[in-house]
Chain A
Amino acid sequence: MTDHSETAVLGNEAAPLPKHSASEIAEEELVEGSSLWKDAWSRLKKNKLAVASLVIFLLICVFCVVGPFLVPYNSQEQDLFLGATGPSAEHWFGTDTLGRDLLVRTMEGGRISLMVGLVATVVSLLIGVIYGATAGYLGGKVDATMMRFVDLLYALPFTIFVILLMVAFGRSMWLMFVAIGCVEWLSMARIVRSGVLGLKKQEFVEAAVSLGYSHKRIILRHLIPNVLGPVIVIATLTVPAVMLLEAFLSFLGLGVQPPNASWGVLINEGQQNMEIFPWLLMFPAFFFALTLFCLNFLGDGLRDALDPKSAKD
């Protein structure tokens, strides 16, 4: 049956049918395909702004994570006699009113801010994607009930929700992750659900159903990978949103507690002394803004790279 060659062997110039079985197909003979992810990555690489943003963002991450080990100060070590001093050879970023080294504090604050951003985003991603995909795929009454629940949570005012949590469980950083994750997954779930509703009508999903695959398999292998494009874009934009949220909570005194600091806390302290000690605001604000910019540009670049319309040309 395999020798019958009415059909042209397409796709490879003048390739006669190999006479050996697949196990003998040497790896180098195999034409490696390029996945849509790979294509997107190569498109992204051509976007200079996005690549620069990615590099800067990674540098900021390294700066915040590795930096504190290289600086001979401790973020909580006070030097009350010194007080607030401007940038100098010893303290590059200067010191704050309690004489703490601002460089270390900016690094460690960044670590916390970034961690809040990343952890909360990952949490919201996991919950949102699975929840949204399940609702969209199962459809009907299940979908209606699941999405009603989402609407309900949406309606809850966020600050009151956080205050309630704090009152009930006391202040803790982890609680803040939970609180923010709880809010952010809602929009993720909605986006994934509407994506899945569109995909469900596509014939490859019907083909998967007619092959008798389990619900779990269809959701995990056939639906989620295909909605991941927009989800990744949203995720890169969620990280800065979460960081802003954390800054806002810190502003209200609900966020990270002293002596720990996040960029939000530092900016808050800085703006109280803005007129006398401007560097206290300048340095953390600069890094915070830079991170936000980078993530936004990266998100835009990813959107262009992953957009299926540009994938066609």
Chain B
Amino acid sequence: MSEHVEPAVPVDPKNDFLVLDDVHTHFDMGKTLLTRESKGVVKAVDGVTLTVKEGEILGLVGESGCGKSTLSRTVMQLIRPTSGRIFLEGKELSALSDTEIRKERINFQMIFQDPYASLNPRMTVLDTLSEAIRTRHPNVKGDALRSRVAELLRTVGLNPNQMKRYPHEFSGGQRQRVAIARALAPEPKLIIADEPVSALDVSIQSQILNLLKRLTREMGLTMIFISHDLSVVRYIADRIAVMYLGRILELGEASDVVDHPLHIYTRALMSAIPRPDPTSEKTRSRIVLQGDPPSPMNPPEGCNFWPRSPIEHDERMKHEEPVLTEIRPNHFATNCPFCVQAAAETVPA
């Protein structure tokens, strides 16, 4: 689409805590060796407009490859956006130079998916955490530093006498706790957790979710929580954004999105969650999406959900690019009538 569509989600970079204004992150796949033809562009994030309020937990859900990690890395400025702007507390991160960003980084931190890869295997927990604490307090040394590390470990539910241990001496859940402690060490305001529980066992998963929720509340943190599992996001998030192929399809309060989903895609995600109840699970019918998500390399023009929509409808519609609009108060969904209406009709009373 060539002309710029006015974002329907109101953004106010001066007052909102975190603002993403029409953010695009594309990966240029380069040219072929011989013919110098372009190999194409992966539009991993393709026009995301979002705001996050101070102290809230925003859940971001979507299938694998829809660009969740790319979006979080873009917010973290680990990848610079191709276009669009990102503001944190009124400061435009996307306009800062690399050196300026480095100083700013203590204000926003990330928790990664794989607890086995996200800690330096050659450093003790003490070293890892001390190093991170000193990004904000460069002059803290010796015993004072140690007691800070001990306090951090207690905060995440680990015993401080374990501080001289190495990552491989901990279980997956414990490592994830260390990773959380490291993210907390610079006393950030914003934390992005990219699928922090996907690699963990069910019962450990709950422990980490409880911990994250408690910490954000107690420390007044703001968090973006990413997952592909709505049942997990539902528990932790205040608001939920549903992402599909680089764009947001639905955005609203967690209870609205889960209990009264507007978009058929959200409903399909919900209905794919298996329920631990043999009798109803063996009989109920699901909304089945056809096939896999299309590749973000050369995605379909116009509506990118069209190839998978379970609803029969007018071919002409697929050339329109749906725009996120406020359909109910504070509850946004793409403005295309079919997917949204169809879902609205099937909403249980």
A and B touch in the complex (CB under 8 A): yes
Binding site for B on A (CB under 8 A): 1-2, 4-12, 15, 17-18, 21-23, 25, 29-37, 202-204, 206-214, 221-222, 225-226, 311
Chain B residues contacting A32 (CB-CB under 8 Å) are 164-165
Q: Does B186 contact A (CB under 8 A)?
A: yes
Interface residues of B (CB under 8 A from A): 73, 76, 78, 101-106, 108-110, 112-114, 117-125, 131-132, 135, 143-144, 146-151, 154-166, 168-171, 173-174, 177, 179, 182, 186, 207, 210-211, 214, 218
Main secondary structure of the interface of B (DSSP, over half): helix
Q: Tell me, in angstroms, the Cα distance from A139 to B123 when the chains sit together.
A: 25
Q: Contact: B159 with A15, CB < 8 Å?
A: yes
Say which residue of B112, B131, B169 sits within 8 Å of A33 (CB atoms).
B169
With contacts A12-B161, A211-B109, A212-B103 known, is A6 near B214, CB below 8 A?
yes
B211 contacts across to A, CB distance below 8 A: 6-7
- In the complex, what distance in Å separates the CA atom of A209 from the CA atom of B79? 11
How far apart are A187's CB and chain B's nearest CB, in angstroms? 23
CB-based nearest B residue for A208? B120
Q: Contacts A18-B161, A31-B164, A209-B78 known; A203 to B156 CB distance under 8 Å?
A: no
> What are 13 A-B contacts defined by CB distance under 8 Å?
A1-B218, A9-B157, A18-B159, A22-B163, A34-B166, A34-B169, A35-B122, A204-B119, A206-B73, A212-B101, A225-B120, A225-B122, A226-B122
Q: Which of A10, A22, A34 contacts B171 (CB 8 A)?
A: A10
Instruction: State whether A12 touches B162 (Cβ < 8 A).
Output: yes
Find A311's partner among B144, B161, B165, B168 (CB 8 Å cutoff).
B168
Contact residue among A5, A30, A36, A222 (Cβ-Cβ distance under 8 Å from B164): A30
Q: Are B78 and A206 in contact (CB under 8 A)?
A: yes
5 closest Cβ pairs, A-B complex: A7-B157, A22-B150, A33-B165, A212-B105, A22-B147
Would you give the shortest CB distance from B77 to chain A, in whole angstroms?
8
Known pairs A10-B171, A11-B174, A207-B118; A25 contacts B103 (CB<8 A): no
Roughly how many angstroms separate A207 CA and B120 CA in the complex, as a whole number?
A: 9
A2 to B207, CA, bound (A): 16
Known: A22-B149, A36-B122, A207-B112. 16 other contacts (CB 8 A): A6-B211, A7-B156, A9-B158, A12-B161, A21-B150, A22-B151, A32-B164, A33-B169, A203-B117, A203-B118, A204-B119, A206-B112, A207-B118, A207-B182, A212-B102, A212-B103
Minimal beta-carbon separation of B127 from chain A (angstroms): 9
A210 touches B110 (CB 8 A): yes
Q: Which residues of A contact B113 (CB under 8 A)?
A: 203
Q: How far in angstroms is the closest Cβ of chain B from A220?
A: 12
Most chain B beta-carbon neighbours within 10 Å: one of A5, A30, A34, A226: A30
Contact status A8-B157, CB under 8 Å: yes
Q: Output the nearest chain A residue to B174 by Cβ-Cβ distance.
A: A10
Q: Are B131 and A31 in contact (CB under 8 A)?
A: no
A23 lies within 8 A of B157 (CB): no
CB pair B160–A212 under 8 Å, yes or no, is no
> How far does the alpha carbon of A259 sit from the alpha carbon of B246 in the complex, in Å?
75
* CB atoms of A211 and B120 under 8 A apart: no
Q: How far is the CB of A80 from chain B (nearest CB, A)?
A: 59
Cβ-defined contact, B165 with A31, below 8 A: yes
Q: How far is the CB of A5 from chain B (nearest CB, A)?
A: 8
B175 → chain A, closest Cβ, in Å? 11
* Given A23-B143, A36-B168: A213 touches B135 (CB 8 Å cut-off): yes
B214 near A210: Cβ-Cβ < 8 Å: no
Give every chain B residue within 8 A of A4 (Cβ-Cβ).
214, 218
Task: Tell which of A6, A23, A33, A210 has the most Cβ of chain B within 10 Å.
Answer: A210
- Asked whether, in the complex, the Cβ of A11 is within 8 Å of the Cβ of B162, the reply is yes
Q: Which of A2, A8, A22 contacts B143 (CB 8 A)?
A: A22
Q: What is the bound-complex CA distance between A224 and B144, given in angstroms?
A: 29
The answer to whether B161 and A23 have CB atoms under 8 Å apart is no
Contact: A33 with B164, CB < 8 Å?
Answer: yes
| Cα of A208 to Cα of B183 in the assembled complex, Å | 10
User: How far is A4 from B156 in the complex, measured between Cα atoms in Å?
Assistant: 10
Q: How far is the CA of A203 from the CA of B210 in the complex (A)?
A: 23
Question: Shortest beta-carbon distance, B152 to chain A, in Å?
Answer: 10
How far apart are the CA atoms of A311 and B121 in the complex, in Å?
12
Instruction: Establish whether residues B117 and A31, one from each chain, have CB atoms under 8 Å apart when the complex forms.
Output: no
Contact B120 A222 (CB under 8 A): yes
Contact B164 A23 (CB under 8 A): no
List the A side residues contacting B162 at CB < 8 Å. Answer: 11-12, 31, 33
Of the residues A7, A12, A15, A17, contact of B207 by C-beta under 8 Å: A7
Bound CA span A206–B112, Å: 9
**Does the CB pair B76–A8 fall under 8 Å?**
no
**Complex contacts, B112 vs chain A, CB 8 Å:** 203, 206-207
Partner among A7, A18, A204 whose Cβ is within 8 Å of the Cβ of B117: A204
State the Cβ distance, A151 to closest chain B Cβ, in Å.
18
Determine if B154 and A17 form an interchain contact, defined as CB atoms under 8 angstroms apart: yes
Are B161 and A211 in contact, with the CB atoms below 8 A?
Answer: no
Residue of B76, B124, B154, B165 with highest tally of chain A CB at under 10 A: B154
B62 to chain A, nearest CB (A): 20
> For residue A37, which residues in chain B have a CB less than 8 angstroms away from its CB?
122
The CA of A195 and the CA of B207, in the complex, are separated in Å by 35
Complex CA gap A18/B163 in Å reads 13
Which residues of chain B have C-beta atoms less than 8 A from A8's C-beta?
A: 157, 207
| B165 and A22 contacting across the interface, CB-CB below 8 Å | no
Bound-state Cα–Cα, A311 to B105, Å: 34
Chain B residues positioned under 8 Å from A213 (CB to CB): 131, 135
